Amino acid sequence: MATPMIPPAYAPDFLAAHGWEDAEIRPLAGDASFRRYFRVRRGAEQAVLMDAPPPHEDARPFVATAQWLAGAGLSAPSILAHDLDRGLLLIDDFGDARLRETLDAVPGRERELYEVAVDLLVHLHAQPPMPGLQTHGLDQWLSELQLFPVWYCPAVGLEVDAEGYRAAWRATLGPVAGDGLGPVTVLRDYHAENIMLVSGRAGIRHFGLLDFQDAVVGHPAYDLASVLEDARRDVTPAIERAMLDLYMNRTGQDTEFETAYWTLAAQRNTRILGVFTRLWKRDGKRQYTAFQPRMWGLLERDLAFPALAPVRAWFDANVPADMRAAAWEPNL
């Protein structure tokens, strides 16, 4: 079930111990995990309280990654105070201007702002990978893909060829894993709802990064696919094509990178179809099923790329059209 947006009982004592006694605590946001965020105000000052309760969450990766990203010249929240044993962090407040809502309000800025998103990745990928991160490669990609047959297929009443599914994906992802591109730091959840527009900062530092605690070392195409094939907002195909070309031009990549892009986009979108179904079935977060039609639109666009022919053939043989987007309109 969804976690109620009530701060933990020990939050006021934590704040008081770090100079924020009698601060006002108001709900800010929750997400697909157990993490919750609260805005803390004391007079003219404000910050964000992150509640990442153990044993469900571990705030240490967030702290380490935030510090590394800041050292790499990017805007990640400063850690103002923490109680890692209880999963409480007091961090910078980047304000209320989020990329998602900004694009919704002023769609004419789409190209401008997605160019900044690409520039940020170009900069990030030029850095040596963050030390100590887990690898995100073929074994991990194949493991993540099991979310689709394990959660999605039973939810819509499908029995599928599980062995053929694994074989098709292995044949498709294997060349990407061996293409020699990267490794780079991969944020994993780089999209419009995890990017704040920070007042007073320009260029790539105008983008305040959030939700990067699951960062890994992997392929440079992954985060580009994450931001351009956004699960929560429609990015026009023209902008996707232009930004893919922009990244390739600025990094000197060629058709090998483009193959990796469409393949990892398909991997990610298939995984997310399973994740959103699991959030509904296991965690009671039915609202995530509303994104499934968009995920199918993205996946079917990816599957049109020639290198994905084995996977496309599997989907054609195992997942009928009425068990794709149509199965979620309206939600099951």
3-state helix, strand, coil in the chain (%, to 5): 50, 15, 35
**99-328 in CATH: which number?**
3.90.1200.10
Checking if the pLDDT of 295 tops 50, the result is yes
Which pLDDT band holds residue 1 (cuts at 50, 70, 90)? very low
β-strand 79-83 against 36-42: which pairing, if any?
A: unpaired
Instruction: Specify the pTM.
Output: 0.93
pLDDT tens digit sequence for 72-102: 999 999 999 999 999 999 999 999 999 999 9
Checking if the pLDDT of 31 tops 70, the result is no
Checking if the pLDDT of 231 tops 50, the result is yes
* DSSP bridge partners of 82: 89
Question: How many Å apart are CA 107 and CA 244, to the nearest integer?
Answer: 19
pLDDT tens digit sequence for 238-284: 999 999 999 999 999 999 999 999 999 999 999 999 999 999 999 99
pLDDT tens digit sequence for 50-70: 999 998 889 999 999 999 999
Question: How many Å apart are CA 155 and CA 282, to the nearest integer?
Answer: 11
Mean pLDDT of all residues in 103-115: 96
Q: What is the pLDDT of residue 32?
A: 58
Q: Which long-range contacts (CB under 8 A, 24 or more apart) does 69-74 make?
A: 69/209, 69/212, 72/123, 72/124, 72/127, 73/123, 73/204, 73/205, 74/120, 74/123, 74/124, 74/204, 74/205, 74/207, 74/209
Checking if the pLDDT of 201 tops 50, the result is yes
Tell me the domain boundaries of the chain: 11-91, 99-328
Q: What is the pLDDT of residue 315?
A: 98
Q: What is the mean pLDDT of the chain?
A: 95
HSE value, Cβ hemisphere, 13 Å, CA-based, for 143 = 6
Place of tokens 């600025």: 250
Which pLDDT band holds residue 218 (cuts at 50, 70, 90)? very high
Mean pLDDT of all residues in 134-141: 98
Contact 280, 286 (CB under 8 A): yes
Q: How far from 214 is each of 134, 211, 217, CA to CA, in Å?
A: 9, 8, 10
Contact 273, 295 (CB under 8 A): yes
Question: How many Å apart are CA 221 and CA 149, to the nearest integer?
Answer: 25
pLDDT tens digit sequence for 140-149: 999 999 999 9
Checking if the pLDDT of 235 tops 60, the result is yes
Checking if the pLDDT of 177 tops 90, the result is yes
Q: Give the number of other Cβ atoms within 10 Å of residue 307's Cβ.
A: 18
* DSSP bridge partners of 41: 24, 46
Contact 58, 134 (CB under 8 A): no
Question: How many Å apart are CA 129 and CA 149, to the nearest integer?
Answer: 32
Mean pLDDT of all residues in 217-227: 98
Least confident of 32-36, 81-85, 138-142, 187-191: 32-36
Provide the CATH topology of domain 11-91.
Phosphorylase Kinase; domain 1 (3.30.200)
φ, ψ of residue 292 to 5 degrees: the values are -60, -40
Q: What is the pLDDT of residue 64?
A: 97
pLDDT tens digit sequence for 155-168: 999 999 999 999 99
Q: What is the pLDDT of residue 240?
A: 98
Q: Which long-range contacts (CB under 8 A, 24 or more apart) does 96-102 make?
A: 97/196, 97/197, 97/198, 97/199, 98/192, 98/193, 98/195, 98/196, 98/197, 99/192, 99/193, 99/195, 99/196, 99/197, 99/207, 100/192, 100/193, 100/195, 100/232, 100/233, 102/197
Question: How many Å apart are CA 241 and CA 111, to the nearest integer?
Answer: 11
pLDDT tens digit sequence for 122-132: 999 999 999 99
